[in-house]
A and B are shown apart, each in its own frame.
Chain A
Amino acid sequence: MTVLQARQLSVALAGKTVVEDLDLTLSAGEITVLLGPNGAGKSTLLGGLAGELPITGELNFGGRPMTAWAPGALARQRGVMPQRVEVNFPLTVEEVVRLGRTGGDRRADEAILAEVLSALSLEGLRYRKMPTLSGGEQQRVQLARVLAQILDSQGPRLLLLDECTSALDPAHQQLALGLVRTLARTQGIAVLAIVHDLNLAAQFADRLVVLKAGRCVASGPAEEVLTPSMLASVYGYQARVERLAEGYSVIVPVAGAVQTAPVKPTCRQAS
């Protein structure tokens, strides 16, 4: 079932078109991972889908134009996790996660709170103040808040995650993305996640979409998209792809190869 469909979507940042002519379909229960070098327009695309940035083109959510949704109703169906959230005020973990329940069904609050806190192993931190937490702990709290927002909603649901595991240790990365995958499968949530770690992307993505300079240059399942030639042309990254088992690949840098990283400016703004 299609949850989100974009046709010829362009997103502008500070008056400049950063993402151009993008076609994207997100289906229920599926994780789509957005890849691309720094400045390729991944966060900008997410910002456009999250309603933060001006877009042109066609964008439908749940069979209706995105603009036809009332903001309050949309918040129950679409959870957005920004790239960096730092809380300098002494809100507790519980208060932050509860914020995700704004406008939701009050009767479900306690059960959902307990569920997301336990699923992200945050129970012990429930009454801690945010500024006393580490970066990774804060990131898990934000993910819990975003999940609490849409967990009990009916109808089409979408999660937009901007590097939601960037501050997590390997075990918590597995925990967080594993949880996202379980929820996507069991509840039919469509997920679009930006993940820089290629191995994590290969492990959790049902589909990869690769952006370069604001345009989609490749898309499909990991086995097809994650190839040495793609890595070399998109990232300037000399790497081998080792298949370990069905569904598990490891990307390893070629020993001794000169990593030429940004071959030329990839971001439209920089060019």
Chain B
Amino acid sequence: MQSSRLSPRFPGQLLDPAGRLRFGASLALVVALAVVAALVSISSGAYPISVTDMLRVLAGQPGQDAAARLVLMEVRLPRFLLGFLVGAVLAVSGAILQGLFRNPLADPTLIGVSSGASLAAISVIVLGEALLGHWLHLAETWALPLAAFAGGSGTVFLAWKIARRAGQVSVATLLLAGIAINAIAMAGTGLLTFHANDEQLRSLTFWTMGSLGHAAWHDLVVAGPWLLLALLMAQTLATPLDAFLMGESVVGHLGFDTERVKRRAILVAGLGVGAAVAVSGLIGFVGLVVPHLVRQMAGASHRTLLPICALAGGSLLVAADSLARVVVAPAELPIGLMTALIGGPFFLVILLRMNVS
């Protein structure tokens, strides 16, 4: 094997001439990560299941342990799948918004999607009884996710409307409007928390700190299609997003419909993150940290970045979720807390290392 010119320590096949991991190698790495995350996530928890038992159940072999089967099929599997999809969407949405705003610090929480979704869900918890009366009971388990979804996409639509002048959307105004809406939603959340009773406060934590603890198959049925749609639509934006890194005008010069690209990017982030918050609450840092890491590893071109981010984000969130279940077992930490605990210091380390080099 021929060695790479820039990094003679590594075989040339793994690294490209720019010293980055090639797409194939990156893909193999994140797929391996995803498999490990899946095995750890499905086997660990308050009721440990060995990998052989897991494979036996999944293969449909009649096992002696009915409890293991129940835990696996009704708790762990939907939780893993949901966690993976949510992590993937958060990371991809982060990457898209960073490209759109040409700002590596953009994040789904920044344009108000997450906080809007969270505020809507919390409103239903605290004020639902008074506002909706018996309609709330009719909606039952659907009321909260639907409210969060509507809240998330509603906020994006609002920011979009504010930034739109004469048929064109100003990306800078969109960012500023998002920050303002984010602050207002956060204030609303604070007011409602203040107003909530003890029981409501407990369910509020889910929306403010995130959790995959309630994940069930019906969450996957509700949110899964939107999450998948967002992931697929994101891939069609790869080349125009590369052009966005040169500045908005270049997108048009290269023959793309700039307004349509912006509309789609916001739609993907709004629908995806809205659906993610609806089933898992507010989970920060994944959308910020994952694209940053993947850019360092595999480059900034969105054709590489978006698929790798999806797999890496999914794996990371599932791993964080496994950790959240294990550290204080049999109780579990909110996952948003976990991602902030790991992601925050990690991000600082990256920043410090960047300043040094």
**Interface 1/0 per residue, B219-261 and A, CB below 8 Å:** 0000000000000000000010011011101101111110000
- The interface residues of chain B lying within 8 Å CB-to-CB of A51 are 252
Q: Which residue of A lies closest to B245 (CB)?
A: A89
CA A126 to CA B6, docked complex, whole Å: 13
State the Cβ distance, B134 to closest chain A Cβ, in Å: 52
Main secondary structure of the interface of B (DSSP, over half): loop
Task: Please state if B255 and A95 are interface contacts (CB–CB under 8 Å).
Answer: no
Partner of A74 from the list B255, B296, B301 (CB cut-off 8 Å) is B255
State the Cβ distance, B325 to closest chain A Cβ, in Å: 36
Report A160-216 residues with CB < 8 Å from chain B CB.
none
- The interface residues of chain A lying within 8 Å CB-to-CB of B48 are none
CA A85 to CA B247, docked complex, whole Å: 7
**At the interface, yes or no: A1 with Cβ under 8 Å from chain B?**
no
**At the interface, yes or no: B104 with Cβ under 8 Å from chain A?**
yes
Report A131-182 residues with CB < 8 Å from chain B CB.
142, 145, 149
- The interface residues of chain B lying within 8 Å CB-to-CB of A145 are 246
**At the interface, yes or no: B18 with Cβ under 8 Å from chain A?**
yes
CA A100 to CA B299, docked complex, whole Å: 18
Task: Please state if B254 and A95 are interface contacts (CB–CB under 8 Å).
Answer: no
Which 9 A-B pairs give the minimum distances between C-beta atoms?
A75-B255, A127-B18, A89-B300, A127-B17, A72-B255, A80-B253, A90-B300, A71-B255, A91-B300
Provide a sorted-by-A list of 26 A–B residue pairs whose CB atoms are within 8 angstroms.
A52-B252, A71-B255, A71-B256, A74-B255, A79-B253, A82-B250, A85-B246, A85-B247, A87-B246, A89-B104, A89-B295, A90-B296, A91-B299, A92-B18, A92-B299, A95-B299, A99-B239, A99-B246, A102-B254, A103-B254, A126-B17, A127-B16, A127-B19, A129-B18, A145-B246, A149-B254
Extra contacts besides A92-B299, A103-B255 (17): CB < 8 Å:
A15-B166, A50-B249, A50-B252, A52-B249, A71-B255, A74-B255, A80-B253, A85-B246, A89-B99, A89-B104, A91-B300, A91-B301, A92-B18, A102-B254, A102-B255, A127-B6, A128-B18
B→A interface (CB under 8 Å): 6, 16-19, 99, 102, 104, 166, 239, 242-243, 245-247, 249-250, 252-257, 295-296, 299-301
A→B interface (CB under 8 Å): 15, 47, 50-52, 71-76, 78-80, 82, 85, 87-92, 95-96, 99-100, 102-103, 126-129, 142, 145, 149
